[in-house]
Homo-oligomer: A and B are copies of this chain.
């Protein structure tokens, strides 16, 4: 099933089911919001399924400009950093010990009160702050009991999403050194319109990883097409980490971190910081500029059989102070 939240003037929007090709959408009777569906997944699933059966014949045409993020406000947003290639490149370029990822996943608590809509202009304070994107996959969780282990964790994955974790790199070093996590560095995040059940990915959902290429375009040109299959820690391990000292609320979004591959020379990168790190290592200088006002970032993930699974992110960058 593909779920989508359509703007209706409320903060949380109106839950719809989308057709397999994403062309048609139909509101879900009796389940108002995405959070309502997650709060009562067992009760909602049959209603979602029957709506899904009807969407092709009864649905209205999907207008991407009316889509909100699947959760315009989420219970929680946790973001891992599970791709070792990304860690190794950043560590080497930034003069840190090049240790890769150790046995403990990296994860931060992000703001979850506001997710940008897939086609909304992304507003930042200033283009002097190193505006960057991060292409990621993520999972949406049901309630996960505190202490859940990785072997049981994938059972709590209800939906899969495509994410652009906007970042302001100028604050990365100072916030990392302070040890309190990201604040200025991590403004509101964007999520592609369709949140899909794992079965929608077929065998591209395996080992608790999204085994699809994530295509990032900057101003229409491909910037990266790295595959989600190279996570050092699968989402099951990330869930175990997240649930150690807390029950995880239904509707929590858990991200993979920037998708990165060992063959980055061929497939490119999912963020500017990583490309600059590669340039730094190879030439002594990061060359590719960060984003400025007016640039457009698009992300999509195309399945070889099922096509454009999550729908597209397509956002223009804007700044308060040019």
A interface residues (Cβ-Cβ under 8 A, vs B): 11, 39, 73, 75-76, 78, 81, 104, 106-114, 123-125, 129, 146-147, 168, 174-188, 241-242, 244-247, 249, 251-252, 320
Contact = CB atoms under 8 A, between A and B. Distances in A.
15 contacts: A76-B112, A104-B178, A106-B180, A108-B181, A108-B183, A112-B112, A114-B247, A114-B249, A123-B146, A124-B245, A125-B245, A168-B245, A179-B179, A180-B181, A180-B182
B174 A146 contact: no
Contact of A106 (B124, B178, B252): B178
B75 A113 contact: yes
Contacts of A124: 245
Which of A76, A112, A146, A178 gathers the greatest number of chain B CB atoms within 10 Å? A178
Nearest to A177: B179
A177 B178 CA distance: 9
Tell me if A's interface is mostly helix, strand, loop or mixed: loop
B242 A104 contact: no
Smallest CB-CB A-B distances: 4 pairs: A181-B181, A176-B179, A113-B249, A75-B113
Contact of A108 (B109, B168, B174): B109
Nearest to A129: B245
Given A106-B178, A147-B320, A320-B146, A183 B112 contact: no
Nearest to A188: B246
Nearest to A11: B39
